[in-house]
Amino acid sequence: MRLFTVLSGEHPTLPAAEVRAILKAESVPYREVGELPCLLRFEASQRALEAIKLRAAYSRLCGIEIFSCKAEDGEILEKCRETPFEDFISPGESFAVRVRRVCGAEKVENPLELERSIGAIIWRRVKGLKVDLKTPGKLFLGLTLKNGSFLFGVSLWQVPLKDFSARKPARKPFSHPSTLQPKFARCMVNLSRVKRGGVLYDPFCGTGTILVEAGLIGVKPLGVDLQAGMVMGARENLLHYRVGSFLLTVADALHPPVRLVNAIATDPPYGRSASTAGRSLKELLEGFLAASAEILSDDGFLCMASPLEAGVPAMAENLGFKTVEEHAIHIHRSLTRLVVVLRLK
């Protein structure tokens, strides 16, 4: 089955990397067909869509691809006339057609007229269909892409963005200026390739955002922080968002209170003295990486964020890790954050 995911475009590489990591974590075989700005196409079972729906932060919607062609009305309508729509919708179902552009692609000349024309072809092909523009049972979606092509398919789900909005720092019971955004935290959890039911460890848990996002997808969160106040606040947040099973304790990231974990995802404090026990950033990161090498399972992954100038990839190589991928995120003039995914050599 050929599937597609429309990506959020919030970062040039993180959204697609997150989808690949999710499929790896969920042990879903897939073959990538192509990547365009804000779009990933791949062949896989429908189980891939279920995994992305459950876990993804930077995907907007997923669906089944029906055909692709040039973004020209004549060719699009000819392809529609050739399509056996009875394979995708049954008599009595309701449907709608939407034509959208992806990531700033050029619009078709008259998208509303194209929607009506495609809808008429589908309606004539399958008897007994109902048009419902507000709450259709099936949503057929045409996407104009930046390479001048047009992808047509059935949208199977859209990410409920309001769920992430409800977990923004300002809406949490306990917050702090360093609190991560929930979508970024969820992405870090996914990049760690942790399986549902596995243990994810955050040794700089702070307000618990990474732990909350892990718990909401069925991962067992384990968090520590040097500050008792942070641990108490993280507990409050985990309980508020009804994360059922978690472990929290006050501890030093350089001396983990655990022997083995399946994955690590964390955002170290970048030298804030209250969180680092007076250590320099280099001492903190080297100590954390050395400790992590002792407790991470052989098939586990570590995802961490740090300032670009900290040089984490080279540091990690010297401490027994290899770099799987890295993504630079420009925060402001004096800070570029580097997200690095590591695994043991």
DSSP string, 131-147: E-SSS-SEEEEEEE-TT
Using a 10 angstrom Cβ sphere, with 0-12 exposed, 13-18 middle and 19 or more buried, the burial of residue 164 is middle
Tens digits of residue pLDDT in 115-163: 999 999 999 999 999 999 999 999 999 999 999 999 999 999 887 767 8
The pTM for the full model equals 0.94
Q: Nearest 5°: phi and psi at 87? A: -75, -15
Question: CATH 3.30.2130.30: which residues of the chain?
Answer: 2-155
CA distances (Å), origin 179, targets 37, 210, 328:
29, 10, 19
Chain region(s) in the chain for CATH 3.40.50.150: 165-344
The whole-number pLDDT of residue 271 equals 52
Decide if 45 contacts 1 (C-beta within 8 A).
Answer: yes
pLDDT of residue 163: 83
DSSP 108: P
The answer to whether 21 touches 190, Cβ cutoff 8 Å, is yes
The whole-number pLDDT of residue 33 equals 94
CA dist 58 to 38, 61, 153, 243, Å? 10, 9, 20, 22
Give me the residues of the chain with pLDDT under 70, please.
Answer: 161, 271-276
CB 331 within 8 A of CB 295: no
| DSSP secondary structure string for all residues of 58-91 | SEEEEEEEEEEEES-HHHHHHHHHHS-GGGT--T
Beta bridge pairs of residue 42: 3, 32
Q: Which CATH architecture has domain 165-344?
A: 3-Layer(aba) Sandwich (3.40)
Please give the pLDDT value at position 275.
64
Inter-axis angle of helices 47-55 and 14-25, to 10 degrees?
120
Distances (CA, A) of 2 to 45, 67, 124, 256, 342: 8, 9, 25, 44, 30
Going by the DSSP 8-state scheme, the letter that residue 171 receives in this structure is: G
- pLDDT (0 to 100) of residue 319: 97
Considering the domain 2-155, what is its CATH architecture? 2-Layer Sandwich (3.30)
Nearest to 33 by CA among 12, 71, 5: 5
How many CB atoms lie under 10 A from the CB of residue 240? 15
**What kind and span of H or E run contains 149?**
strand 149-158
Tokens, residue 193: 């390739």
Cβ-based neighbours of 19, under 8 Å, separated by 6 or more: 5, 7, 40, 52, 56, 59
* Residue 109, phi then psi, degrees to nearest 5: -60, -45
- pLDDT at position 272 is 52
Helix (H) or strand (E) holding 299: strand 296-307
Q: How many angstroms separate the CA atoms of 306 and 161, rounded?
A: 27
Q: Residue 345: what pLDDT? A: 95
Q: What is the DSSP letter of 231?
A: H
Rounded CA separation 1/13 (Å): 25
What is the structure's pLDDT at 273? 46
Rounded Cα–Cα distance for residues 191 and 189 (Å): 6
- Would the CA dihedral through 296, 300, 304, 309 be positive or negative? positive
Q: Is 258 left (phi over 0), alpha (psi -120 to 50) or beta?
A: beta
| Tokens linked to 147 | 């390479």
